[in-house]
A and B are shown apart, each in its own frame.
Chain A
Amino acid sequence: MGERDLFYIPLGGTAALGAATALTASIGFLRTRDFRFDSLAHAATETSLAFLGAAIVSGCFVIHSATGLWWTWDARLTAALVCWLLFATCLMLRQGVEEPSRRAAFAAVWSIFACLDVPLVAATAAWWKPGKALPIEWTWPRLGLLAAMAIAGGLFTAVRARHEDSGCVPPVD
């Protein structure tokens, strides 16, 4: 395991935790109509998108060092890309809808749609390109990185959710 292999699995794991948070918060919003859940879902989706993007980029580096290609359409990369697009559509839908209560409800519904698709996408990608992905091994360095990244992601999410709650945009500097 080289240093490059170290990162993409914890990054992807943190993105998955973010997606699970977004799904839980979306269900919470639809049940309670409490806008704090909506802010949490928004922030968790953003964090998840950032970490998944980083996971895809580091995955590209791993593949490049192994095969000399930057993109090989293997099952895991393809599934990660489709999931990244799914989370991106959640944020795009948010940008499009102006009225706050409608925006929150629509985004929550679409989050649930997108999260339900994640296992289907993973299964489809694995059938489409069988037998190429390496097994995921949770070694201690990776677990340590996952813990660190999960804390960092949690902090990002908390800060973004608080900005959303207070209705102000984050400071630029």
Chain B
Amino acid sequence: MMGFFRQVGVVAAKDLRAELRTKEAINSSLAFALVILLMFSFAFDPLADTTREIAGGLLWIVFAFAGTLVLNRSFARELPNDCLDGLIAAPVSRAALFLGKACASFLLVLGVQLVSLPVFGIFYNVPWTRQFPELFLVLVLGTWGLTVVGTISSALTVNIRLRELMLPMLTYPILFPALLGAMQLTAILVAGNPIGPGDFGWLKMMVGFDVIYTAVSLALVETILVS
């Protein structure tokens, strides 16, 4: 069991190192997040009270779009020089390979979110810092759901035409329960209100979604990653 987590750590560290050297996914993702945040301000009055009510939804649309840019690169990064075949042939279990890549993408997407959150707060005058610990928990749960489903989609679409288009098309409908929960909770938290007992259901839904899809992905990834 220790060996498994070491393998996960090695794969995640490799992906993070490769990404931090080139910064190709994280730069484009950050730039894209900022562009969408700017575009929203054209669509409606950024300082109106109604905008603050839908702030949670807006924020997660930005995160979902920017996240797919990172996730697209997760397996596509291994295509040049047939690195993917090398990784599959390497003496690490495929579940560890998948989990390592998911962890690396998770940290990258979370990084993009933590940079765009203050920008969002300033642009739209949203008091997001008041409930930050709870908000961070929602970010972690939502992002893990996004990365786990996104990493599997990235593995499925790595060799097909229109890869960049297919990944979001596959990912967003599956993510409906997790994204809707994240949007509802984030809308409450960025308005500066605490999560009430009536909203724990959403939190449970997000935890359940993450657990189910992590378990199923780990069980089925052996059939996807074949050389």
Contact = CB atoms under 8 A, between A and B. Distances in A.
B220 A112 contact: yes
A120 B145 CA distance: 13
Contacts of A4: none
Interface in B141-172: 149, 152, 156-157, 159-162, 166, 169-170
Contact of A113 (B160, B174, B176, B226): B174
Interface in B30-87: none
A117 B216 CA distance: 12
B223 A105 contact: yes
B176 A124 contact: yes
Interface residues of B, number: 30
Contacts of A96: 157, 160-162, 166
Nearest to A29: B223
B173 A109 contact: no
A138 interface: no
Interface string B2-20: 0000000000000000000
Contact of A120 (B156, B161, B177, B201): B177
A114 interface: yes
Contact of B156 (A82, A86, A106, A123): A106
B205 interface: yes
Contact of B205 (A86, A93, A113, A120): A120
A93 B205 CA distance: 27
B181 interface: yes
Contacts of A123: 177, 205
Contacts of A98: 160
A93 B159 CA distance: 11
A92 B165 CA distance: 11
A121 B170 contact: no
B224 interface: yes
Contacts of B180: 124, 128
B51 to A, nearest CB: 20
Nearest to B183: A128
Contact of B174 (A86, A92, A109, A128): A86
A69 interface: no
Contact of B166 (A92, A113, A120): A92
Contacts of A108: 223
Given A105-B224, A123-B205, A89 B169 contact: yes
A52 to B, nearest CB: 13
Interface string B199-214: 0011001001100110
A127 interface: yes
A151 to B, nearest CB: 30
A109 B223 contact: yes
Contacts of A128: 180, 184
A89 B156 CA distance: 12
B166 A117 contact: no
16 contacts: A82-B173, A85-B173, A89-B173, A92-B170, A97-B159, A98-B160, A105-B226, A109-B220, A112-B216, A113-B213, A113-B216, A117-B173, A121-B176, A123-B205, A124-B176, A124-B177
